[in-house]
């Protein structure tokens, strides 16, 4: 039933929501029109975005900073993400691989399963969730395949997400205050850190693969 509701909501409203989120002023006015419920609406949108990707995470995080400020926006993003991640875990527990197959191509599923076998799960999870722009929520769908408890998974990934979300909400907050120089500086710094982190992670992965081959 929950899966059906998500699919119905996604098919009916996702394009409208995506259009609202992409325009920061429209997004702010729309959320403010709900009064104190605006924060609840935002958390619900963030939760949905975690389960089904109707918009990328970064624009939504920048929007959160623009509307709610740096730290409040970050906290709302994290809350929505954790609710959405818990929903993914719940749905995978209830529906198993059928739910994963409905949302993720078979090739990606096989690639992720093969990758999991080669890595140190705790350090790799932290690095993946720390680097901006990585497909973090995709990993959540595979929690049953990870040799780690759900509690540890949520603690590690929640802490690792903070810097990436914080830089995005800071950028959005600077935009909201018309501080375009600071906003651009934060955005460019995030891009540079993301690219640098991705390069380091690629080197780390290759090194691990070489070590695993030599051990065979």
Q: How far apart are CA 30 and CA 24, in angstroms?
A: 10
> Considering its fold, how many domains does the chain have in total?
1
CA–CA separation, 183 and 177 (whole Å): 9
Residue 216: DSSP 8-state:
-
Q: How far apart are CA 42 and CA 11, in angstroms?
A: 19
105 φ, ψ to 5°?
Answer: -60, 150
Range of the domain at 106: 2-215
Average pLDDT per run of 10 along the chain, which is 216 residues long?
53 64 81 89 88 78 89 93 88 75 72 69 79 73 80 87 86 75 64 62 61 50
Whole-angstrom Cα distance, residue 169 to residue 68?
Answer: 9
| pTM > 0.85 | no
Predicted local distance difference test score (pLDDT) of residue 74:
92
Helices (H), the chain: 2-22, 24-32, 38-51, 57-68, 70-95, 97-103, 106-118, 121-130, 136-140, 150-176, 180-215
What confidence score (pLDDT) does residue 95 get? 76
How many C-beta atoms lie closer than 10 Å to residue 88's C-beta?
24
Tokens representing 154?
Answer: 């949520």
Judged by DSSP in three states, 208 sits in: helix
**Measured between alpha carbons, how far is 122 from 124 in angstroms, rounded to an integer?**
6
């Amino acid at each position: 039933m929950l899966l059906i509701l998500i699919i119905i909501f996604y098919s009916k409203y996702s394009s409208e929501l995506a259009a609202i989120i992409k325009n920061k002023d429209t997004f702010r006015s729309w959320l403010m029109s709900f009064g104190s419920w605006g924060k609840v609406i935002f958390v619900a949108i963030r939760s949905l975005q975690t389960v089904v990707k109707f918009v990328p995470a970064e624009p939504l995080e920048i929007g959160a900073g623009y509307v709610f400020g740096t730290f409040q926006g970050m906290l709302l993003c994290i809350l929505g993400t954790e609710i959405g991640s818990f929903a993914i875990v719940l749905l995978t527990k209830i529906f198993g691989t059928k739910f994963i197959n409905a949302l993720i191509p078979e090739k990606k599923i096989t690639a992720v399963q093969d990758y999991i076998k080669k890595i140190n799960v705790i350090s790799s999870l932290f690095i993946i969730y720390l680097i901006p722009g990585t497909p973090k929520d995709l990993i959540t769908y595979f929690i049953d395949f990870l040799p780690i408890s759900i509690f540890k998974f949520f603690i590690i990934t929640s802490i690792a997400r903070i810097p990436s979300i914080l830089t995005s909400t800071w950028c959005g907050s600077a935009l909201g205050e018309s501080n375009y120089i600071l906003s651009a500086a934060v955005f460019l710094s995030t891009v540079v850190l993301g690219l640098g982190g991705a390069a380091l992670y690629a080197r780390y992965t290759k090194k691990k693969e070489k070590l695993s081959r030599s051990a065979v």
